[in-house]
Copies of this chain bind each other. A is one copy, B any other.
Amino acid sequence: MRRIGSKVVHEGEIATVRVDEFRYPDGSTSEREVVGHPGAVAMVAHDERFLYLVRQPREAVGEEALLELPAGKLDVEGEGPLETAKRELAEETGKAAAEWHELKRIYTTPGFADERVWIYLATGLSDTEGEPDTGERIEVVAWPLDELDAAIEECEDAKSLVGLMLFRSIREAPPS
């Protein structure tokens, strides 16, 4: 399968929509509409007692306060996923992490958008100063580690669920 053409049909503030044309190994071709996205990071950040989560309004889905992992878009030119994760963790939670471990790379909606999310485990936390984005209404939640199951129960955000459940499986069976 090979992309043989692409044209932008809508250039928006968040969503760029393009129509890509593909050729398959059997010689046939097809066109697909794709929402372009720069990619994102999400962080499972915890210390001995707490997991640091956020609650924020998600206008797109009509939710006042969705429980999620701290996260952010890869929207700074030349900044890689790990650097973005470090910056966003500081901005959203005021924490810096000494240890970083990539848990998984996922596609959030491979049927219609090209967003990829890098999910990290961030430990060895200390307080730091970030520069919160203005206009973001984010509340930090120190969630007790022993109540991880309740966070998974409440969470409805796909990338956050993947991160929280991978973290749960690591806690239950630590890698040797």
- Seen from chain A, the residues whose Cβ lies within 8 Å of a Cβ on chain B are 1, 3, 9-10, 12-15, 17, 20, 22, 24, 30, 32-35, 37, 40, 57-64, 66, 68, 73, 104-117, 135, 137, 156-159, 161-162, 165-166, 168-169
Contacts and interface: CB of A to CB of B under 8 A. Distances in A.
27 contacts: A1-B59, A12-B33, A20-B60, A24-B57, A30-B135, A32-B59, A34-B59, A35-B60, A58-B107, A58-B111, A60-B110, A60-B111, A61-B116, A63-B107, A66-B110, A104-B156, A106-B161, A107-B157, A108-B108, A108-B109, A109-B113, A110-B156, A110-B157, A113-B113, A158-B158, A161-B165, A162-B165
B15 A114 contact: no
Nearest to A12: B33
Contact of A17 (B1, B12, B73, B108): B12
Contacts of A115: 109
Contacts of A61: 107, 110, 114, 116
Contacts of A168: 169
Contact of A109 (B9, B62, B158, B166): B158
**Copies of this chain present:** 2
Contacts of A59: 1, 3, 20, 22, 30, 32, 34
B22 A17 contact: no
